[in-house]
Structure 1
Amino acid sequence: MSRHTFEEKLKIVFQVKNGKPILQISRECHIRQGMILEWVRKYDGYGRQGLHKQPNIRATPEFKEEVVRFILEKHIPLAQVVLQYGVSCSALESWVRIVRLNGYEALHQQKKCGRPTKVMGPPKKQEPKTELEKLQAENARLRAENALLKKVKALVEEREAHERMIGRKPSRS
């Protein structure tokens, strides 16, 4: 959803057209001057229709390359390309930066979407198939349980010894 309604944008554009300074409008309405300038440019280029919310576009690598070539090779200003193609300024700046660093082929590389897969963590448990595997799994579980109980016993004994040293009676819990 757009933060500013069509009516708000139109009202601000008319204020600019009637000679009110953009800086003053910006301070009164708490809107960036660049945003107001963009609205005025869209109004000048496309009329009232330019102030309506534009649909989101799915930029293909070929589209990105075409737009970036337009900016870099024909030296067309970014603001004009934003109006002409309906792409956000930040997206265009990002594409131009990518091309300047890595070339046009970098626009054609697919990035992975979404959260990266989780590599760490215990492997999924598989049910033992044979009797021998079942016994080995039970043996490993019992060894782990035994080691845990030994650790707990050692910790309890250590705490009791510490409490005896400082003169307290050990608790029975």
Structure 2
Amino acid sequence: MTKFSKEFRMKLIKEVEQGESLNSVARKYGVGGATLKRWYSNFSHGGTKQLVSTKKHYTQEFKIYAIEYRWQHDLSYRLAAIELGIPNDGVLHQWEKRYLECGVSGLLTKKKGRPPKMPKKPEPPKRDLTREEQLEAEIAQLRMENAYLKKLNALVQEREKSKRKTK
């Protein structure tokens, strides 16, 4: 959820398009001048769609492309973000910083949240059982069920005996 609604942003942009200055509209509504300037640039470059764009996931290839595009065309972060449809130029700055510090691996998407405490057990490879092995497995399963039912029956009988003694 954004702090300012789409309708509010459009209202401010319409006032700027009607001839008021960016700074006067920003002061009038209590919005930062740089914020309004970014909204206006996004709107003038990509319309309403880019104004309210909130895309949050980008591929590693797109991040590299965005950084190289900025370098090749010698653009500011703001202009490069506007041309590439990135809603906030600070994101592009963070990508470039990580790229320069860690290389391509710094642009990989990282999993969020706490890592699991217990490592996952690797699953044993499944193989097709022969008919004899299937029958042996079924016999073992039936023996376990039989032993469980005997134990359950013994516990139930023991509980009934204790109820009779207490009465």
Q: TM-score, normalized by length of structure 1?
A: 0.56
Per-residue CA deviation, residues 124-161 of structure 1 (Å, 9 max, x unaligned), is xxxxxxxxxxxxxxxxxxxxxxxxxxxxxxxxxxxxxx
Identify the residue that residue 61 of structure 1 maps to in structure 2: 60
Structure 1: how far apart are the matches of 2:73 and 2:90? 20
Q: Report the Cα offset of residue 99 of structure 1.
A: 1.6
Q: Report the Cα offset of residue 39 of structure 1.
A: 1.6
Residue correspondence of structure 1 range 74-113 to structure 2 within 5 A = 74-87=73-86, 88-108=88-108, 111-113=110-112
Structure 2: how far apart are the matches of 1:101 and 1:40? 33
Cα distance change, pair 50–73 in 1 and its aligned pair in 2 (3 A): closer
CA-based RMSD: 2.4
Instruction: Supply the AA of the counterpart residue of 1:42.
Output: N
Q: Report the Cα offset of residue 29 of structure 1.
A: 1.1
Identify the residue that residue 27 of structure 2 maps to in structure 1: 27
Q: TM-score, normalized by length of structure 2?
A: 0.58
Cα distance change, pair 5–68 in 1 and its aligned pair in 2 (3 A): same
4+ residue segments displaced more than 6 Å: none
Instruction: Supply the AA of the counterpart residue of 1:78.
Output: Y
Identify the residue that residue 6 of structure 1 maps to in structure 2: 6
Structure scoring higher RCO (CA < 8 A, sep ≥ 6) equals 2
Q: Report the Cα offset of residue 62 of structure 1.
A: 1.3
The count of corresponding residues between Structure 1 and Structure 2 is: 117
Instruction: Supply the AA of the counterpart residue of 1:63.
Output: F
Unaligned runs of 5+ in 1: 120-173
Cα distance change, pair 46–60 in 1 and its aligned pair in 2 (3 A): closer
Per-residue CA deviation, residues 63-122 of structure 1 (Å, 9 max, x unaligned), is 1111111112332232222223332322211101112223334224x5342124559xxx
8 Å CA contact 2:77–2:90 kept in 1: the answer is: no
8 Å CA contact 2:46–2:85 kept in 1: the answer is: no
Identify the residue that residue 18 of structure 1 maps to in structure 2: 18
Q: Report the Cα offset of residue 37 of structure 1.
A: 0.6
Q: Secondary structure at the match of 2:23?
A: helix
Instruction: Supply the AA of the counterpart residue of 1:107.
Output: L
Cα distance change, pair 105–117 in 1 and its aligned pair in 2 (3 A): closer
Unaligned runs of 5+ in 2: 119-167
Identity among equivalent positions (%) equals 21
